[in-house]
Structure 1
Amino acid sequence: MKKIFVLSGMLFTFSLQAQFSVNIQVPADFKEQEAILYTLNGSKDIIVTKEQNKNNSWTFKYPKSYSGMMKVYFPNTNNNVSFISENKNVNIKLETEKNKIKNVIYQDEANQLMNNIQENSQKKELILPALAQIKEYYRDNTDFGKALITEIGKLSGTTNSVDQARHPFVYYYNTNYAKYLSDDTAKKVNQDEVIDFFDKSNDMLESSSLIRPILVAYLNNGGNTNVTQSVDKLLDRLKVETPRGQTVLSELIDIFDVYEMTEFKTKYLTLAKNLKCTITDRLASTLKANANVEIGATFPNYKFQSAVNTTAKSIADVKADKKVIVFWSSTCSHCETELPQLLAKYNELKAKNIQIIGLSLDIDKDSYTKKIVAFPWINDSELKGWNSSYSDTYNIHATPTYFILDANNKIISKPDHVGDVLTDLNVK
């Protein structure tokens, strides 16, 4: 299988001849030096480049045409800001407090328009029904009743009309969101219409963030009872040899992984593995992440950041007959239920020379630190949430996720729940 290396997926230094630029301004007390610019391919963020703080701002020069979703991530303070590009300069001002973003002020026309549309859509969805109920308790001729009628009229009349020639991506995103994902229209769209959309859409589909939610809606369309037939019909039209076909295939594999549809994930992951054509970076990343965590594979080593309850420098340095790797978070309700069960068996596991290594997808340091006081096993975290390296390296889509390794760091089991962990280790 031959791999195409796509330049936009690699970290590189830009030429000064930019197609457009992205400028982010922050207050002087925002303690961040580095910022990383991302584009989007399907649901996967693609690192483009990084810049250093200069006079409380970052300017990224983008050398190619790009219309779609973008993101700037601040790794040291774990902040990010999302926006769109229409192949024109983007200007954003951030208001911050204690190194956290409190408000985003979009200063370019495209992002102002997109933000206004999103705000109006949220108001229409969340506020309009409440106002309609409140109106029943007030007479129309009272001052408050008149004000309610006025506000209801404004929200009811809110339109997402956009000049397509002037704002092509804003038009593309909102038109297709309204058609394929809005509660009002999505149920009226049949599968053939979705297939036509994926087949005939322009390149903004990949950068729009619409692929995954529309695929989920497509699979659920009409209470779908034949997933294989629906997926095969879509992939046959798109052709898995094409870049779009491979992006959709990659997204489907991830969807089946997230929803624990193991049979379908195995089927289409096998299809991807057996492709004889050149493959894109998008599909290659999915294949690599899954290969990293196959039963029998050597678990990719991880160098600890600031691990507690150990002097080991990495997972490989931890010596044990078996290791339980658990990816978790202090904000995860399932972790709240399952990890105490692991704790109850900790001494028994330790007596069998079985080590537990917890890798947290937390963001808040205080929350993480307070939680691990109760866990005597090895704990570490990058404190970057889903921006951490764990999700890509170990194909993590949810918490908690468990792996059991042997003494040589080979993956011998991937239990679904803590009960399965204890059963596999014969301590239940």
Structure 2
Amino acid sequence: MKKIYTLSAVLATFALQAQFTVTVQTPADFTDKDAILYTLNGSKDIIVTKEQSKNNTWTFKYPNHYMGMMKLYFPSTNNTISFISENKNVNIKLDIQNNKVKDVIYLDEANEIMSKQQEGSQKKELILPALAQIKEYYKDNTDFGKALKTEIDRLSGTSSSVDAAKHPFVAYYNTNYSKFIGNPADNKKVNQDDIINFLDKSNDMLESSSLLRPVLVAYLNSGGNTNVGGSVDKLLDRLKVETPRGQTVLSELIDIFDVYQMDEFKNKYLGLAKNLKCTINDRLASTLKSNANVETGAVFPNYKFQSATNTTAKSIHDVKADKKVIIFWSSTCSHCESELPKLLEKYNELKSKNIQVIALSLDVDKNSYSTKIAAFPWINDSELRGWNSTYVDTYNVHATPTYFILDSNSKIISKPDHVGDVLEYFKVK
């Protein structure tokens, strides 16, 4: 009986050690009460939990072991802050001005070190090249020239090392960011085999580090534009697509090809994913689902309007029309700025054919959005959450503007690339 008690005590102690809390403090005048905590899987934010503030303090209890990037999102004020976890308590204080985050003060050691490391890396990547150019115009024996040289030498120096035993995630992130993503001059010594070995042998901090997608982009670039398929096949053969790591990489690659409109490769590897006979992990399952939602012939998933203009309909499916044009756009999108006026010119003609336009905005600023839609007579709606909007994942939106044409039953019948394709489809160009 004593042995059982001892084992139970050990397990209980381990469970307590595996838990940590995230505590965030804000000034009393910050109006947001809700906050959503996310972890990371590849490039996908994963919702952990939602909490309400108590005396302008949010406390999140995380029950599992986790080392990696985390994010906190305040939906009402559309503020986002990022930080890391090393499976230890995280403490953050926010400086707020006019309901916007002005500064983030990291009170725990791991985040303080990570913040300083990233600030140093950004200065090295962004400021150092500019200082080197300026130096050419000043002599070394002048006061300003001497100051320039001192700053250049400081930024050129090796970043202070991080004790990997004490701060494993900070060390992991900084080492691999520097090797695979940082200074392009340093990356010349990294070849495809180096990247494959890293992706194959890396521990599970890879998925939670935010490094996976940029490393994959670096890998594709290193193989050249003429050998994309060969590079991907070589990587997936090594990783094995049946494994969790192989599936996550496959999912990221499908999304990358989608973002860069490389449809041939997207369709090839999406087909590979669909034909897998093994158990599918969550990351790949989300990619398969979001792509299935918007396949030609599929019923466009319904969306309940939040505060739609120019309609009494409650949702997309409630809108009655022979055809519907769905647009995902933003008032800050330059392509939208040039394309939507062309749609506006033909709107009355479209309306006469019983074609309804429904525009879902990825705006954040309410004033900017409201000003813009004042000129749009079609149905407009927005969550005012930008790329945190729920419809981004549901409809697999990677860019604005994105268009869909639906029939009267809300089935997808076309996915035009540009507004000209929309007008051509309806013969009103």
| Contact 2:18 2:65 (8 Å CA) reproduced | no
C-alpha deviations, 1:248-306, integer Å up to 9, x for none?
A: 01101101111111111111111111111111111111111011111111111111000
| Contact 2:18 2:87 (8 Å CA) reproduced | no
| Contact 1:120 1:158 (8 Å CA) reproduced | no
Count of aligned pairs:
414
- For residues 303 and 255 of structure 1, the distance between their equivalents in structure 2, rounded to whole angstroms, comes to 29
Does 2:279 match 1:266? no
Partner of 2:280: 279
Partner of 1:3: none
How far does residue 139 in structure 1 lie from its aligned partner after superposition?
A: 4.1
How far does residue 116 in structure 1 lie from its aligned partner after superposition?
A: 0.7
How far does residue 372 in structure 1 lie from its aligned partner after superposition?
A: 0.6
Partner of 1:381: 382
- For residues 132 and 244 of structure 1, the distance between their equivalents in structure 2, rounded to whole angstroms, comes to 41
- For residues 261 and 132 of structure 2, the distance between their equivalents in structure 1, rounded to whole angstroms, comes to 40
- For residues 158 and 199 of structure 1, the distance between their equivalents in structure 2, rounded to whole angstroms, comes to 28
**AA at the equivalent of 1:63:** P
How far does residue 380 in structure 1 lie from its aligned partner after superposition?
A: 0.3
**AA at the equivalent of 1:181:** I
Does 2:183 match 1:185? no
- For residues 16 and 405 of structure 1, the distance between their equivalents in structure 2, rounded to whole angstroms, comes to 52
How far does residue 94 in structure 1 lie from its aligned partner after superposition?
A: 0.5
- Return the TM-score normalized by structure 1: 0.94
Range with greater deviation from structure 2 (176-185 or 372-381): 176-185
- For residues 160 and 297 of structure 1, the distance between their equivalents in structure 2, rounded to whole angstroms, comes to 54
**AA at the equivalent of 2:352:** A
Partner of 2:333: 332
Equivalent residue runs for 1:311-350 within 5 Å: 311-350=312-351
Partner of 2:63: 63
C-alpha deviations, 1:378-409, integer Å up to 9, x for none?
A: 00000000000111100000000000000111
- For residues 16 and 28 of structure 1, the distance between their equivalents in structure 2, rounded to whole angstroms, comes to 32
**AA at the equivalent of 1:333:** S
C-alpha deviations, 1:135-166, integer Å up to 9, x for none?
A: 34444444333333322222222514211111
**AA at the equivalent of 2:41:** N
| Contact 1:187 1:221 (8 Å CA) reproduced | no
Does 2:134 match 1:128? no
Equivalent residue runs for 1:25-424 within 5 Å: 25-182=25-182, 183-424=184-425
- For residues 96 and 241 of structure 2, the distance between their equivalents in structure 1, rounded to whole angstroms, comes to 45
- For residues 148 and 220 of structure 2, the distance between their equivalents in structure 1, rounded to whole angstroms, comes to 40
C-alpha deviations, 1:12-50, integer Å up to 9, x for none?
A: xxx998611111110100001111110000000000111
Partner of 1:10: none
Indicate the percent of aligned positions where both proteins have the same amino acid.
79
Greater relative contact order, per chain length (Cα 8 Å cut-off, separation 6+): 1
Sort the Cα spacing of 1:242 and 1:26 in 2 relative to 1 into closer, same or farther, 3 A: same
- For residues 178 and 17 of structure 1, the distance between their equivalents in structure 2, rounded to whole angstroms, comes to 31
| Contact 2:21 2:89 (8 Å CA) reproduced | yes
| Contact 1:322 1:407 (8 Å CA) reproduced | yes
- Return the TM-score normalized by structure 2: 0.94
**AA at the equivalent of 2:122:** Q
**AA at the equivalent of 1:134:** I
Sort the Cα spacing of 1:308 and 1:176 in 2 relative to 1 into closer, same or farther, 3 A: same
Range with greater deviation from structure 2 (279-288 or 185-194): 185-194
- For residues 129 and 29 of structure 2, the distance between their equivalents in structure 1, rounded to whole angstroms, comes to 41
| Contact 1:17 1:63 (8 Å CA) reproduced | no
| Contact 1:24 1:93 (8 Å CA) reproduced | yes
Sort the Cα spacing of 1:145 and 1:202 in 2 relative to 1 into closer, same or farther, 3 A: same
| Contact 1:16 1:61 (8 Å CA) reproduced | no
How far does residue 219 in structure 1 lie from its aligned partner after superposition?
A: 0.8
Structure 2: unaligned runs, 5 residues or longer: 1-14
- For residues 206 and 167 of structure 2, the distance between their equivalents in structure 1, rounded to whole angstroms, comes to 15
**AA at the equivalent of 1:107:** L
**Corresponding residue SS for 2:113:** helix
Structure 1 outlier segments of 4+, above 6 Å = 15-18
Higher helix share: 2
| Contact 1:40 1:69 (8 Å CA) reproduced | yes
Sort the Cα spacing of 1:119 and 1:355 in 2 relative to 1 into closer, same or farther, 3 A: same
